[in-house]
Amino acid sequence: MTSQPPSPPPHPEQPAEVPTCYRHPDRETWVRCQRCERPICPDCMRDAAVGFQCPECVAEGNKGFRQAKSTFGGNVVRTPFVTYAILAINVLVFGAQYLTGTTVTGALAMWPAGVALGDEYYRLISAAFVHGGVFHILFNCWALFMIGPYLERAFGHVRYIALYLISALGGSVLGLWLDPLGQPTVGASGAIFGLFGAVFVVGRRLNMDVRGIAVIIALNLAITFLVANISWTGHIGGLVTGSLLAGALAYAPKSNRTLWQVLAIGGALALMAILVVVRVSTIVAIAA
């Protein structure tokens, strides 16, 4: 028999290369993205319909989905934290008023002479966070708590805070024009009246029954003119400003809605600034 030549010795097996996460090269992983098949570590895994995907593939996939919007174009609001923040600020400022007597009130109240002659323009907004008593703050906070979340969900956080602050500004600007120079005013009532007007406008826009809010507005206007020591300028200025701005936001064309709404907010601010500059110039000229 012919002897067979000895077979060569087997080569040692090469160890398989351990894959590492493409975003964290120092981390070993055996999981791959279901879309791009790149290795991903636990911190980079995103749940998918089947298996996991990497953050980049998830972000790319989300581009094809239309983001949910509120009724009038803002982001969907699940928690109305802007309303809650305003309520908290009101309570904190009122607490500071209680502890300091007239110091905080005098520093923040809307005072036409201070705005015109002292360049204290901040008073046009700060007055909306100061109140004249327990009943005053309770009413305003109750009204804000009742209607604020509804409007915040309808407009989204940014549009809602713009509506609130510009309504407050509208009340202060009318007070700057028509109130006596030495008469200070306080309260969020201008902003609250602006929200009342906004609820009415939104209701009409959505073909809802607005008789309830109409009665509330009418009753509060009656109180404004029948009860002493109430700033009618703040209430009327806030109501008109809030209603007009809410109308511009709610009736903006759906095509390029955001652009139209930004223009409406910017236009309202520009108009307020012009009215303040004209009135301040007039007061300064008379004082000189």
Q: Where are the domains of the chain?
A: 18-57, 81-287
Q: What pLDDT does 74 receive?
A: 83
Instruction: Please pick, among 126, 167, 231, 235, the residue that the annotation labels catalytic.
Output: 235
Give this prediction's pTM.
0.78
Active site residue 24: no
Pair 131, 137: CB distance under 8 Å = yes
Q: What pLDDT does 273 receive?
A: 98
Q: What pLDDT does 252 receive?
A: 95
Pair 120, 114: CB distance under 8 Å = yes
- State the Cα–Cα distance between residues 7 and 17, nearest whole angstrom: 29
- State the Cα–Cα distance between residues 203 and 247, nearest whole angstrom: 11
State which amino acid sits at residue 108: L
- State the Cα–Cα distance between residues 232 and 171, nearest whole angstrom: 9
Digitized pLDDT (tens) for each residue of the chain, 288 residues in all: 555 555 555 555 555 577 888 989 888 888 888 888 899 898 888 877 667 888 888 877 766 555 677 889 888 899 999 999 999 999 999 999 999 989 999 999 999 999 999 999 999 999 999 999 999 999 999 999 999 999 999 999 999 999 999 999 999 999 999 999 999 999 999 999 999 999 999 999 999 999 999 999 999 999 999 998 899 999 999 999 999 999 999 999 988 999 999 999 999 999 999 999 999 999 999 987
- State the Cα–Cα distance between residues 245 and 143, nearest whole angstrom: 19
User: Which strand (E) or helix (H) includes residue 53?
Assistant: strand 52-53
- Per the listing, tokens 């955001």 go with 258
Instruction: Please pick, among 167, 189, 231, 243, the residue that the annotation labels catalytic.
Output: 189
Q: What pLDDT does 172 receive?
A: 97
Nearest C-alpha neighbor of 145 from the set 195, 95, 78: 195
- State the Cα–Cα distance between residues 116 and 169, nearest whole angstrom: 15
Tokens of 226: 């029948």
Residue 47 main-chain phi, psi, to 5 deg: -60, 135
Active site residue 136: no
Fold type of domain 81-287: Rhomboid-like fold (1.20.1540)
Tokens of 174: 């009318």
Q: Which residues contact 269 (CB under 8 A, 6 or more apart)?
A: 166, 169
